[in-house]
Amino acid sequence: MKRAAIKVVVAGAGGKMGRTLIEGVLEDQSLVLAALLEVKGGPVIGANFGKVKVGSDIHHAIAAGEVLIDFTRPEGTLAHLQACARLGKAIVIGTTGFSDLQKKAILQASRKIPIAMSPNFAVGVNAVFKLAEVAAAILGDDFDVEIIEAHHRHKVDAPSGTALKLGEIVARALKRDLAKSVVYGRQGDTGVRPVKQIAIHAIRGGDIVGEHSVIFAGPGERVEVTIRSQSRMTYALGALRAVKFLRGKRAGLYDMSDILGLK
């Protein structure tokens, strides 16, 4: 017997990522667009996508679906998360830039509802996470680590959540504390590079969708692991994969390693 389509709610319907998610849901026959959310006063309030009208009533929108996809801003995501927890709805979180306190609130909510959260849902990016981990473990302390990320001029957080995740993965593989090893960019008379330093650099400009590189620079050779995202649809497709993964799951905090079976 064919399973019923999953009812999906998309937050941030007026943004570029929101519109890409809407497009992905409408094209996937195993999903149905149940509701669309945007902040009060947003320019798309009242507009129709498919047969669904964009609204700002959080409770009404989330109650209409089974899973909310949220790629907005930390404050908005937490408000949506609280509503999901009250209503017993699952949520896919692609928002980045959370504080430690906000991350604790997400972890607490995961005791009530299933949550899929990742700094990057693109399948290729998650392959790079694994490749960077393997490379770091093999190359060790003889290779200096530099992480470079580039995004469009409208991205408001830096470095990107993906770059930070790469830093965490590499640091863990090298048995280092990222907080003690990391430097964000360089300026002035910095002196000789510390052996166990991990550097993260952010570029902002134009309409760059997203690029991430981990450079392992050693004596006589350099290893680079790079991913260039050419379309936001790569993120959307990964998020839709997460939506399907969450169906029937127990409360808990899941990531792309769970979704892709990498654990």
Residues spanned by the domain of 44: 6-117+232-259
Residue 168 sits in the same domain as residue 44: no
Q: Are residues 77 and 205 in the same domain?
A: no
CATH assignment at residue 250: 3.40.50.720
Cis omega (within 30 of 0) for bond into 194: no
pLDDT digits (tens, 9 = 90+) for 126-169: 999 999 999 999 999 999 999 999 999 999 899 999 999 999 99
72 and 131 both lie in a single domain:
no
How many domains does the structure of the chain reveal? 2
Q: Which residues are designated catalytic? A: 151, 155
* Domain annotation covers residue 1: no
Examine the domain organization and report whether 222 and 244 are in the same domain: no
Judge whether 183 lies within some domain: yes
Q: Return phi, psi of residue 232, to 5°.
A: -65, -15
**For the segment 51-78, what is each residue's pLDDT rounded down to a tens digit?**
999 999 999 999 999 999 999 999 999 9
In this structure, the answer to whether residues 128 and 153 fall within a common structural domain is yes
For residue 143, being part of any structural domain is answered with yes
Enumerate residue ranges in the chain where pLDDT < 50: none
H and E: helices and strands count for the chain:
9, 13
Q: What is the domain-level CATH number for residue 137?
A: 3.30.360.10
Please tell me whether residues 141 and 219 are part of one structural domain: yes
20 to 25, 55, 79, 88, 254: CA distances (angstroms): 9, 18, 22, 26, 23
Q: What is the pTM of this model?
A: 0.81
